[in-house]
Amino acid sequence: MLNRETCYRALLGRDVRFDGRFFTAVRTTGIYCRPICPARFPKPENCTFYATAAEAQQAGYRPCLRCRPEVAPNLAAWRGTGAVVERAMALIEAGALDSSSVDQLAGRLGLGERQLRRLFVQHVGVSPLAIAQARRVHLAKQLVTETALSLADVALASGFGSIRRFNHCFQQLYGQPPSLLRRPKSSADGNVFPSLDRAHQGTISLLLPYCAPYDWPGMVQFFAARALDGIEAVREHAYARTISVGTATGFVLVRPAAGRHCETALQATISLTSWAVLPQVVRQLKEMFDLHADPQVINRHLAHDPLLGQSVRMRPGLRVPGGWNGFEVGVRAILGQQITVAGGRRLGSRLVDHFGNPVSAHLDLPGDMPRLIRLFPAPERIAEADLTVLGMPRSRAQTINALARAALSDPLLFAASLPLEESVARLKRIPGIGDWTAQYIAMRALRHPDAFPAGDVALQNAAGKANGQKPSETKLRTQADAWQPWRAYAAQHLWSGPAPLGPLTDSLCTAKDLVAT
């Protein structure tokens, strides 16, 4: 339950730390806003506070056109309330209800439909369908505002089954058709949305919000050290790569956003052969750059630990870098077994060069970035391939073959909706994959915040520097119990070590008074 007094104080301060944690609905206007909205402050007696935008919409309020709730960080209070709800929300975010029913969603979670609805009302305040509807309409509003895609393409890309339903939902929520919400090309926002002029070329740009602080330098440093020739290019200011989703292919270019109302967002330039996969691309980018993380909650838990405290204070915006998809992360993890990061990168680049399909189109990249010419090999391409030609041990090549076959035969192998223990167990059934590799994949690909590869030598060495003695795997795992449920972030701090604050970081802060006790 939200604390009204604290929410209103945050509203008066337009405190960015509270952005995404609640929404303010104003009875006199029928509109709901983010805490940072520049509009005139409403009187407290006219305010109702909701934990999610979906709750405000279900109560009959319209989204504010000035502060744009659709680009608020996704930091709803349901996070951490229950594993089943979080897994269900991950599936909905991935589009599970775009073509399936709530009953089918419940079945994937091992629940009955009524039980799932009851859990959602208890933890989220609205039904699963209301969450799915809010997700679709928010992405659609962002596409209408930030791109020049045709309205038919917007309807397709945001998961609506038809243009008629898309128009109806927009009219119902915003009180006007989507065509009237188009941002004029003469906008004074300083070219924040360059795709307004080039959507006809198959390229758009979207804002990807995050909760500050955000350690962009740490993120690009991680990607730069592991960038594979031909599919990735990394510079201090940008990350670019080729992508594939199903039969669709394309490119992405991610960099810090610039312009008004963009201080806490990355900007993704996306080029695709089919806009139907855009929701999945956006979801995978958010996971890859760990944009759903709530650093205030994580830091509050880890900051007082004697081993982690200094790093947390120095790098409060540290995230856990991910990968494009589970299979790619898995292959790269196997390639990196028992060799240096540079060695794993060289093997990965050879794999791409030998087995990666070429791409015909290209994305205009900044002048100092190399052209991207290949896709990462799909499981079908390397399931039976002789990978020893790349110069790796036969046992490692066979493990990658086995991973590819498992990815083709087991649709749940890289399912983020599974509990951590089940995900790790599935991966460890593959010959050649032990606990370290399974935990690493769960951490970087499946986004399990509590994954922890305790057998990692670098983690043990980092822990040993503070303790004066390198701990065993068992002792480190015992020590890490105190870091639950954020052991993945603890591992990232140990790997990264303290460093000066980067340009997208801020001081450590908390919002513990937001929830009424």
Report pLDDT for 75: 64
The domain made up of 4-63 is a member of CATH 1.10.1060.10 = no
CB within 8 A of 490, min separation 6: which ones?
Answer: 302, 305, 308, 452, 480, 483
Catalytically active residues are 33, 456
Residues of the chain with CATH 1.10.10.60: 80-181
The mean pLDDT values, 10 residues at a time, for the chain of 517 residues are 88 86 94 93 95 90 91 65 76 84 90 91 87 90 91 90 89 88 54 46 88 94 96 94 94 88 87 91 95 92 94 95 97 93 96 93 74 95 96 96 97 87 96 96 94 94 86 95 96 81 34 36
Q: Looking at residue 369, what is its pLDDT?
A: 83
pLDDT of residue 21: 87
Q: Return the half-sphere exposure (C-beta side, CA atoms, 13 A cut-off) of residue 349.
A: 15
Cβ-based neighbours of 293, under 8 Å, separated by 6 or more = 210, 211, 319, 320, 449, 489
Interatomic CA distance for residues 233 and 378, integer angstroms: 20
The predicted structure's pLDDT at residue 260: 64
What is the C-alpha separation between 490 and 501, in angstroms, rounded? 18
For residue 389, the number of C-alpha atoms closer than 13 Å in the C-beta half-sphere is: 10
Considering only the top CATH level, what class is 203-506? mainly alpha
Range list of H helices, 230-303:
278-288, 295-302
* Cβ atoms of 352 and 376 closer than 8 Å: yes
Beta bridge mates, 251: 242, 271
Check whether domain 80-181 has CATH 3.30.470.10, yes or no: no
Q: What is the pLDDT of residue 370?
A: 85
pLDDT for the residue 511: 36
**Where in the chain is CATH 1.10.340.30?**
203-506
